[in-house]
A and B are shown apart, each in its own frame.
Chain A
Amino acid sequence: MNTELSEEAVEYGRTALRAFEAAGGDQIVQDAEREPARRADLVEPVLAELGAWDLDPRGGADELEAVAALCRVAGWWALPYPVAERLARPADGSTDGLVVIAGTGPGGAAGAAGAGDARDAGDAGDAGLVGYGPAAPVAGLGRRWSTVTFDGGRGVATAAPPTTTPRYGAFVTGLVDDPALVPSQASRDGDGLADLALGLVLPCWTLLGMLDRAIDLTRAHVLAREQFGQPLARFQGVQFQLTDAEVERLGVEELAKYALWAVATGRGEAVDDALALRLAILEAADQVFRVAHQLHGAMGFCDETTLSWISRYSQPVRRLPLGLSATRDELTRRIGRAGLAGPFAPRREPNLEVQPL
Chain B
Amino acid sequence: MTSPAISTADLAEFRAEVRRWCRAEVPSDWRRTQAGASDDEFVRFQQEWFQRLRTAGFAVPHWPAEWGGGMPVAQQVVLYQELAAHDAPRLVLGFVSIHHAASTLLAAGTDEQRRRHLPAILDGEIWVQGFSEPEAGSDLASLRTTARREGDGFVVDGQKLWASGAAHADWCLLLARTDPAAPKRRGISYFLMDMRTPGIDVRPVRNAAGESHFCEIFLNGVVIPAENLVGPVDQGWQVAQSTLSAERGMTMLELAERLGNAGFRWLVETCRTPGPGGGRPVDDPRVLDRLAELDTEIAGLRALCRGLVERHEAGTAGPVEASVVKLYYSELLQRTMDFAVEVAGLPAHAELRKPASSGWESGAWVLDFIGSWEWTIPGGTSEIQRTIIGERGLGLPREPVVSS
Q: Are A297 and B346 in contact (CB under 8 A)?
A: no
Contact among B277, B352, B399 for A235, CB-based, below 8 A: B399
Complex Cα–Cα for A112 and B399 (A): 52
Complex Cα–Cα for A290 and B114 (A): 42
Give chain A nearest CB distance to B344 CB in angstroms.
Answer: 8
* Residues of chain A contacted by B210 (CB below 8 angstroms): 167-168
Q: Does A237 contact B (CB under 8 A)?
A: yes
Give chain B nearest CB distance to A225 CB in angstroms.
Answer: 8
Q: Does B178 contact A (CB under 8 A)?
A: no
Give chain B nearest CB distance to A129 CB in angstroms.
Answer: 8
Complex Cα–Cα for A345 and B378 (A): 51
Which of B7-15, B66-74, B201-209, B241-249 lies at the interface?
A: B201-209
| Range of interface residues on A (Cβ < 8 Å) | 35 or more
Q: Are A131 and B350 in contact (CB under 8 A)?
A: yes
Complex Cα–Cα for A303 and B206 (A): 8
Which of A15-23, A39-47, A116-124, A262-270 lies at the interface?
A: A116-124
* Residues of chain A contacted by B274 (CB below 8 angstroms): 120
Give chain A nearest CB distance to B130 CB in angstroms.
Answer: 15
Q: Does A185 contact B (CB under 8 A)?
A: no
Interface digits, B182-225 against A, CB 8 Å rule (1 contact, 0 not)? 00000000000000000000000111111000100000000000
Q: Are B401 and A230 in contact (CB under 8 A)?
A: yes
Give chain A nearest CB distance to B286 CB in angstroms.
Answer: 7
Complex Cα–Cα for A130 and B138 (A): 40
Give chain B nearest CB distance to A238 CB in angstroms.
Answer: 7
Contact among B135, B347, B403 for A131, CB-based, below 8 A: B347
Give chain A nearest CB distance to B211 CB in angstroms.
Answer: 10
* Residues of chain A contacted by B209 (CB below 8 angstroms): 301
Interface digits, B370-402 against A, CB 8 Å rule (1 contact, 0 not)? 100110111001110011000000000001011
Q: Are A113 and B275 in contact (CB under 8 A)?
A: yes
Q: Does A339 contact B (CB under 8 A)?
A: no
Complex Cα–Cα for A169 and B399 (A): 44
Q: Are A293 and B373 in contact (CB under 8 A)?
A: yes
Instruction: List CB contacts (< 8 Å) of B328-356 with chain A.
Output: 338, 342-350, 352
Q: Are A113 and B387 in contact (CB under 8 A)?
A: no
Q: Which partner residue on chain B sits nearest A133 by CB separation?
A: B276
Contact among B139, B205, B399, B403 for A302, CB-based, below 8 A: B205
Q: Are A164 and B350 in contact (CB under 8 A)?
A: yes
Instruction: List CB contacts (< 8 Å) of A106-139 with chain B.
Output: 112-123, 126, 129-133, 135
Q: Does B278 contact A (CB under 8 A)?
A: yes
* Residues of chain B contacted by A230 (CB below 8 angstroms): 401-402, 404
Q: Are A294 and B277 in contact (CB under 8 A)?
A: no
Known: A297-B138, A301-B208; 4 extra A-B contacts, CB below 8 A, are A113-B277, A120-B276, A164-B352, A312-B208
The 8 nearest A-B residue pairs measured at CB: A120-B277, A229-B404, A131-B347, A116-B345, A227-B139, A121-B277, A116-B346, A118-B345
Interface pairs (20), CB distance under 8 Å: A112-B277, A115-B275, A116-B345, A119-B279, A120-B274, A120-B275, A120-B276, A121-B277, A122-B276, A122-B277, A130-B350, A226-B135, A229-B401, A229-B402, A230-B404, A286-B338, A294-B383, A315-B349, A323-B342, A325-B342
